[in-house]
Amino acid sequence: MFGIGGGVLLVPVLIFIFYGMGMEESVVVYMAIGTALSSIIFSGISSAHSHHSKKCVEWKLVFPLSLGMIVGALIGSRYATSMSSDDLKLIITIFLIAVGGEMLFGYTKLLSSRRKLVSISNTLAPIHGGWIGFLSSILGIGGGSFTTPLMTLAGYNIRQGIGTAAACGVPIALAGAMGYLYFGQTHPNLPTGATGFIFWPAVLGIASASIITARIGSNIAHSISEQILKRLFGVLLVIAAIMVTRS
């Protein structure tokens, strides 16, 4: 619905679930991020297809952005797996509150103006993609929380931003998931059913459900006003931040 690939909610929800399952505390946050990224691959494809059918994906930007996103996501996964779980949770919480607050109170007028405040040329796109991929891989998201505002600041409307972010979420999730799988293989406390920091039973369940719900969300996104869409986006991020702090 918001072009964020579901990770913004999946990570805090999975942290709760994995703790409840009795999963080893030292792997919970990494497992939540890696599992969320793996699930986003499937929901992202479905969501991107739905947005594409509504002509809201700027493919001319998706490809150059994706080049940087893939490299950034791989580097980000390596960096994240070397951090402590508490540091990761703090970063995730700060990010969610900051972006959610800005969408609710700061970006509203700025994004509504649709003035072109940044440039996304073929030269700059891989650079933008690099930092988006890096941060998204650390946070376990599809990048929509960065790509959507970037697109709107570049003069595109919110629906074009969401659609393009949904398409860009696939390469971010794929590269990030590969990184968490590879860098987590040697951890001594992996649960049964996991390869690296990816818990496959959860991936299967989430992917199956999200393929359907992603299309529903896309249809909803195209049926309500941009102003309401932005505020819902902000509320969603703040709720997710509260979930992480309580885990």
pLDDT digit string (tens) for 73-90?
A: 999 999 999 999 889 988
Residue 62 lies in a domain: yes
Tokens linked to 3 = 């072009």
Q: Which residues of 112-121 are buried (b: 16+ CB within 10 A; e: fewer)?
A: eeeeeeeebe
Hey, is 5 helix, strand or coil?
coil
- Is the CB of residue 76 less than 8 Å from the CB of residue 228? no
pTM comes to 0.83
Q: Is 11 among the domain residues?
A: yes
Q: How many domains does the chain have?
A: 1
- Is 73 inside any structural domain? yes
Q: What pLDDT does 56 receive? A: 85
Residues of the chain with pLDDT under 70: 1-7, 106-117, 211-222, 226, 247
H or E element that contains 199: strand 198-199
> Nearest CA to 167 among 72, 69, 68, 45?
45
Backbone angles phi, psi at 196, to 5 degrees: 60, -140
* pLDDT at position 233: 73
Q: Per the domain annotation, does 26 fall within a domain?
A: yes
Residues 6+ apart with CB under 8 A from 60: none
* pLDDT in the model for residue 215: 63
Asked if residue 37 belongs to a domain, the reply is yes
2 located within any domain: no
For residues 246 and 23, give the distance between their C-alpha atoms in angstroms, rounded to a whole number: 17
Residue 1 lies in a domain: no
Could you read off the pLDDT of 25-41 as tens digits, one per residue? 999 999 999 999 999 88
Rg (CA), the chain: 17
Helix (H) or strand (E) holding 13: helix 7-20
Tell me the β-bridge partners of 195.
Answer: 198
Q: Is 195 helix (H, G, I), strand (E, B) or coil?
A: strand
Site of tokens 């929509």: 144
> Distance (Å, rounded) from C-alpha 59 to C-alpha 147?
13
Q: What Cα–Cα distance (Å) separates residue 100 from each residue in 52, 70, 234?
A: 26, 25, 4
Instruction: Note down the domain range covering 150.
Output: 7-245
Question: Are the C-beta atoms of residues 97 and 40 closer than 8 Å to each other?
Answer: no
The pair of structure tokens assigned to 51 is 């947005």
Query: Is residue 226 assigned to a domain?
Result: yes
Q: What is the pLDDT of residue 108?
A: 46
